């Protein structure tokens, strides 16, 4: 990394950006270097990004798969799945990130910061190595801990995740780093001219790191232990952790059925894992219930009811349903949740199902519901602000004047 702040990589400045129009500056066989990129070249245990490079030539366009991204000779290279004879320096191209892979890595990477923070704080245990796959973290630490110890750490991690805390990226000169931050960081020092720090507000954790991370801890949605072997720990993230825990629970039930003499130790380990995940879910419900309880502070009056729009991209249907009873009467909420599903929640006279039906008159949305609760699935390309404007109008019109 050279010392020019203007040339900072976009995956630092805008980790949520998924497309970019840019220009080819160099080509080597089927490797392309670009003026700017949103693709992470890999490093610090985080795999590189993959995606698509699209080249438009008048009416026709050609697509290349980007099968890996790497740094060499001070440039970031994008390795294409096949050779691009039509490509040459100076041409404009469109980059599209494999967002599913990248976002799951952002979640896993941020979760690792948290885990390393708490394992250090609780057991003075250093993280030696961390590798990420989508939804999976492999960590090697400098001590052998018991499963109970790891569960203790995970309980702190999952509690922190539930607290709606911000994750900040701080980019500064080496000089400023030495003056202000050098003594506050956990883990490895940085000798780069430009230093990139990742700060987790809630727990005051500060690390020199060049990877990609989520903006808010809630996006991780919880961590669960899959495997502990000596000083090697394998963790699963969010929905993958949940489906693993569910499978384990089924497995325990099966085991209980077929064994006369139960394997108590195995059953208790699996039960612990499952309970750990339940705790995460409980914490999420608790957080959302609090938001709902105080919702009137952030609503606007639309005729006779209190109206508001929320965006909580890791909240799912189950969490909402378990939190609904905290909403005071006379409120209408839309909530954009996990997987681009828009939920409608009403404790007022306006029916959620009626609002969805009206909305479906203008667009062919899949979904439906009842008076209190309804949902529709949005397309990735749709602008939520425009839909929210429409919904506000519908909510207004559905009330008597």
CB of 198 to Zn ion, least distance (A): 5
Is residue 297 packed enough to be buried (19+ CB in 10 Å), middle (13-18) or exposed (0-12)?
Answer: exposed
Contacting range for Zn ion; rule: CB under 5 A; set: 207-215, 283-291, 315-323, 355-363 = 207-215
Residue of minimal Cβ distance to Zn ion: 209
**Of the residues 209, 220, 284, 391, which one makes contact with Zn ion according to CB under 5 A:** 209
From residue 81 to residue 120, the character string flagging contacts with Zn ion as x (rule: CB under 5 A) and all else as - is ----------------------------------------
CB of 208 to Zn ion, least distance (A): 9
If one asks whether residue 9 binds Zn ion (CB under 5 A), the answer comes out as no
Where b means 16+ CB within 10 Å and e means fewer, 109-118 reads bbbbbbbbbb
Copy the structure tokens of residue 152.
Answer: 């203790």
From residue 163 to residue 202, the character string flagging contacts with Zn ion as x (rule: CB under 5 A) and all else as - is ----------------------------------------
If one asks whether residue 211 binds Zn ion (CB under 5 A), the answer comes out as yes
* CA distances in angstroms from 235 to 18, 142, 224, 389, listed in the order given: 27, 17, 6, 41
Residues contacting Zn ion: total by CB under 5 A: 2
The nearer residue to Zn ion, 192 or 396, going by C-beta atoms, is: 192
Report how far residue 124's alpha carbon sits from residue 186's, in angstroms, rounded to the nearest whole number: 12
Q: Would you give the end-to-end CA distance of the chain in angstroms?
A: 62
Q: What is the DSSP letter of 177?
A: I
CB of 110 to Zn ion, least distance (A): 7
Contacting range for Zn ion; rule: CB under 5 A; set: 84-92, 153-161, 208-216, 308-316 = 208-216
Contacting range for Zn ion; rule: CB under 5 A; set: 56-64, 209-217, 256-264, 273-281 = 209-217
Contacts of 68 (CB under 8 A, 6+ apart): 42, 48, 50, 78, 79
224 closest CA partner among 273, 170, 168, 173: 273
Contacting range for Zn ion; rule: CB under 5 A; set: 16-24, 27-35, 204-212, 255-263 = 204-212
Report how far residue 95's alpha carbon sits from residue 63's, in angstroms, rounded to the nearest whole number: 10
List of residues contacting Zn ion (CB under 5 A) = 209, 211
């Amino acid at each position: 990394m050279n010392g020019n702040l203007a040339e900072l990589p976009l995956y630092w400045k805008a980790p949520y950006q998924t497309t970019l129009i840019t220009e080819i500056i160099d080509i080597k066989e089927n490797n392309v270097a670009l003026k700017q990129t949103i693709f992470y070249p890999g490093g610090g245990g985080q795999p590189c990004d993959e995606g698509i490079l699209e080249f438009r030539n008048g009416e026709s366009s050609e697509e290349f798969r980007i099968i890996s991204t790497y740094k060499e000779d001070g440039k970031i290279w994008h390795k294409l799945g096949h050779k691009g004879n039509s490509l040459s320096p100076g041409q404009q191209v469109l980059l599209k990130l494999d967002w599913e892979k990248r976002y799951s890595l952002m979640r896993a990477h941020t979760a690792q910061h948290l885990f390393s923070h708490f394992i250090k704080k609780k057991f003075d245990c250093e993280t030696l190595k961390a590798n990420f796959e989508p939804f999976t973290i492999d960590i090697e630490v400098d001590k052998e801990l018991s499963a109970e110890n790891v569960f203790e750490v995970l309980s702190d991690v999952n509690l922190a995740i539930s607290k709606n805390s911000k994750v900040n990226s701080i980019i500064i000169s080496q000089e400023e780093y030495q003056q202000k931050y050098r003594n506050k960081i956990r883990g490895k020092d940085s000798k780069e001219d430009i230093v990139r720090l990742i700060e987790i507000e809630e727990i005051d954790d500060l690390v020199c790191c060049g990877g990609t991370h989520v903006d808010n801890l809630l996006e991780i949605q919880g961590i669960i232990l899959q495997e502990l072997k000596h000083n090697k720990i394998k963790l699963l993230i969010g929905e993958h952790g949940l489906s693993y825990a569910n499978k384990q629970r089924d497995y325990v039930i099966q085991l209980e059925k077929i064994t006369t003499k139960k394997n108590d130790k195995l059953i208790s380990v699996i039960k612990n894992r499952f309970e750990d995940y339940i705790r995460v879910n409980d914490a999420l419900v608790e957080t959302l219930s609090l938001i709902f309880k105080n919702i009137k502070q952030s609503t606007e009056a639309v005729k006779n009811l209190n109206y508001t729009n929320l965006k909580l991209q890791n909240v799912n249907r189950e969490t909402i349903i378990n939190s609904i009873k905290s909403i005071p009467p006379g409120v209408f909420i839309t909530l954009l949740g996990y997987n681009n599903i828009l939920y409608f929640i009403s404790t007022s006279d306006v029916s959620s199902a009626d609002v969805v039906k009206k909305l479906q008159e203008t667009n062919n949305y899949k979904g439906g519901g009842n008076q209190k609760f309804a949902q529709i699935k949005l397309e990735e390309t749709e602008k939520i602000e425009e839909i929210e404007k429409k919904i506000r109008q519908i909510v207004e019109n559905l009330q008597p004047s």
